[in-house]
Structure 1
Amino acid sequence: MRILVTGAAGFIGSHLCEKLASLHHEVFGIDNFNKYYDVKLKELNASDLENVGVKIYRLDLNDDLKSVFETPFDYIYHLAAQPGISSDTSLNDYVTNNIFATQNLLESVLTYNSDLKLFVNISTSSVYGSVATVDEEVTPKPISFYGTTKLAAEQLVLGLERTNKLKACSIRLYSVYGPRERPEKLYTKLIDNLHNNQPFPLFEGSVKHERSFTFVGDIVDGLASIIGNESVVNGEIINLGTDVVNTTQEGISIVEEILNKKLVIDHQPARKGDQQKTSAVINKAVKLLNYKPKSTLKDGLQKQVDWYFEKFVK
């Protein structure tokens, strides 16, 4: 199959590209290599992808995408987005990169790639709001710019499916971690601060937050299993995560154990828009995709520590 992945040089996108390439698909990626975090990290990911034969288009999804669709694709996985809930990111950035970019991609698909087998939109548990412990039938109640604009993007995609213009589904991911995780995310920052004996900024109350911390390898296995199942998932919203819940403190303790160091905490005020609890209800993913997340938090964090030392510790 010929497959396009947006956000290909990012955390989850790069792992998905590698997974699809390992399954002998012809994989292409788009990434704009923006400066939300150090571009050098995306360059490292892109280099790994090029080594396994993935072609990367260095384009913004708001650009003219005609050149990308010179040969049509069988599947598109749309992961590119303005991530996170940073107060430094404006509403305009979220709207531009999550809503306008998605719409431009969709218009390009309808114009140049109308025989697409399936458009896979990657959404987030943040659409559910402060407590994400529900199934896909519950009305979303996002509390952040990120969750709100990702929900809007999801509806742009599914609106085309409802009007029979596009075959599509939307996958809501839960607290993904692992090698290549963004530097401002919990575990990469935690590992880096512990290794370098730096105080770790921790938002008030966050040690008690409960999360379905899901290893990236389990996520990409689930995403790859969509191929060939388009008739089953078309029009569906599907939660993808682990049904095992850990507190942030449990995750911190595991990393402290792996590195044999004790964390020094820099206490920060509570962060607006933070989810209090996530617990992935994955019955639909199990039924439709035979999805079986298998990585424990300790095993996944060991792999993330190993990646960090391989890439950044000389």
Structure 2
Amino acid sequence: MRILVTGAAGFIASHLCEKLFSLGHEVIGIDNFNDYYSVALKKMNAEDLAEKGIAIHAVDLNADLAGVFKAEFDYVFHLAAQPGISATTSLTEYVDNNIYATQNLLDAVLKYNKSIKSFVNIATSSVYGLEATVGEDTPAKPVSFYGTTKLAGEQLVLGMQRLGKLNACSIRLYSVFGPRERPEKLYTKLIENLYYDKPFPLFEGSIKHERSFTYVGDIVDGLAAIIGKEAIVNGEIINLGTDEVNTTAEGIKTVEEIMNKKLIIDHQPARKGDQQKTAAVIDKARRLLGYEPKVTLKQGLEEQVKWYIEKFTK
């Protein structure tokens, strides 16, 4: 199969590229290499993929995409997005990168790619709101620009499916962690601050937050399982995560044990729009995709600590 992956230099998408390539598929990655977080990290990810024979092309999804579709794709996995909850990121940026970019990609697929088997949209548990502990049929109640615009992008994709213009599904991910995690996310920042004995900014109340921390390897296994099941998942919204729930405190303790160090905490005011609790309801993923997360929090964090030390401390 010939597969397009957007956001391919990023955390989850780079792992997905490797997984699909390992299964024998032809993988074409695109990324705009924007500077929301370290461009150097994205280039490092791209270099890791290039060493395996996977090329990532610099492409902005808000530009003319005719050149991307010189040949047709069997699948599109759309992971590119304006991520996270940031007080310094404007609503305009979220709208541009999560709504307009998604529509421009859809327009290009419909114009140039007549035989696509499935358009797989990658969404987020943030669409559920402050507590993401429910099944896919529960109405979304996002409280952040990120969750709101990701929900809008999801509906653009599923709207095309409902009109019969393409097969599509949307996958809502839960608190993904592992090697290549973004530098401002919990575990990469935690590992860095522990390693260098720097104070770790902890937002008020977040120590008790509960999360379905899901290892990236389990996530990409679930995404790869869509291939060949496009008729089964067509039109579906599917939660993808783990039903094992841990608090932020448990996550911190686990990393402290792995690194044999004690964290210095810098207490910060509560962050607007932060989810209080996520607990992935994954019955549908199990039923439709045969999905079963296997990696424990400790196992995944051991891999992430190894990655960080190898890439950033030598």
TM class by shorter-chain length?
over 0.9
Partner of 1:271: 271
SS of equivalent residue, structure 1 residue 83 = coil
8 Å contact from structure 1 (residues 57, 68) kept in 2: no
Partner of 1:228: 228
Q: Is structure 2 residue 46 aligned with structure 1 residue 64?
A: no
2:121 maps to a residue whose letter is N
TM-score between the two structures when normalised by the length of structure 2: 1.00
In structure 1, C-alpha distance between the alignment counterparts of 2:84 and 2:195, rounded to whole Å? 24
- 5 Å-filtered alignment, 1:211-250, equals 211-250=211-250
CA deviation digits over 1:191-246, x for unaligned, max 9? 00000000000000001000000000000000000000001000000000000000
Partner of 1:180: 180
SS of equivalent residue, structure 2 residue 77 = strand
1:211 maps to a residue whose letter is R
In structure 2, C-alpha distance between the alignment counterparts of 1:16 and 1:196, rounded to whole Å? 30
Q: Aligned-pair distance for 1:55?
A: 2.0
Partner of 1:292: 292
Partner of 1:200: 200
In structure 1, C-alpha distance between the alignment counterparts of 2:111 and 2:92, rounded to whole Å? 27
SS of equivalent residue, structure 1 residue 122 = strand
In structure 2, C-alpha distance between the alignment counterparts of 1:185 and 1:7, rounded to whole Å? 17
Q: Is structure 2 residue 27 aligned with structure 1 residue 31?
A: no
Partner of 1:90: 90
In structure 2, C-alpha distance between the alignment counterparts of 1:196 and 1:22, rounded to whole Å? 35
In structure 2, C-alpha distance between the alignment counterparts of 1:128 and 1:23, rounded to whole Å? 33
Identity across matched positions, percent: 73
Partner of 1:258: 258
In structure 2, C-alpha distance between the alignment counterparts of 1:181 and 1:198, rounded to whole Å? 19
Q: Aligned-pair distance for 1:8?
A: 0.2
In structure 2, C-alpha distance between the alignment counterparts of 1:313 and 1:24, rounded to whole Å? 34
Q: Is structure 2 residue 80 aligned with structure 1 residue 80?
A: yes
Partner of 1:162: 162
1:21 maps to a residue whose letter is F
Partner of 2:120: 120
Partner of 1:18: 18
1:134 maps to a residue whose letter is V
SS of equivalent residue, structure 2 residue 27 = strand
CA deviation digits over 1:47-104, x for unaligned, max 9? 1111122121201100101011001000000000000010000000000000000000
In structure 2, C-alpha distance between the alignment counterparts of 1:56 and 1:209, rounded to whole Å? 36
Q: Aligned-pair distance for 1:277?
A: 0.2
CA deviation digits over 1:15-44, x for unaligned, max 9? 000000000100001100000111000001
8 Å contact from structure 1 (residues 28, 55) kept in 2: yes
1:84 maps to a residue whose letter is G
1:61 maps to a residue whose letter is L
SS of equivalent residue, structure 2 residue 311 = helix
Q: Which runs of 5+ in 2 are unaligned?
A: none
In structure 2, C-alpha distance between the alignment counterparts of 1:167 and 1:289, rounded to whole Å? 16
TM-score between the two structures when normalised by the length of structure 1: 1.00
2:112 maps to a residue whose letter is Y
SS of equivalent residue, structure 1 residue 171 = strand
Q: Aligned-pair distance for 1:294?
A: 0.5
Partner of 1:55: 55
SS of equivalent residue, structure 2 residue 44 = helix
SS of equivalent residue, structure 1 residue 306 = helix
In structure 2, C-alpha distance between the alignment counterparts of 1:38 and 1:103, rounded to whole Å? 26
In structure 1, C-alpha distance between the alignment counterparts of 2:216 and 2:233, rounded to whole Å? 21
The runs of 4+ residues in structure 1 deviating greater than 2 Å are none
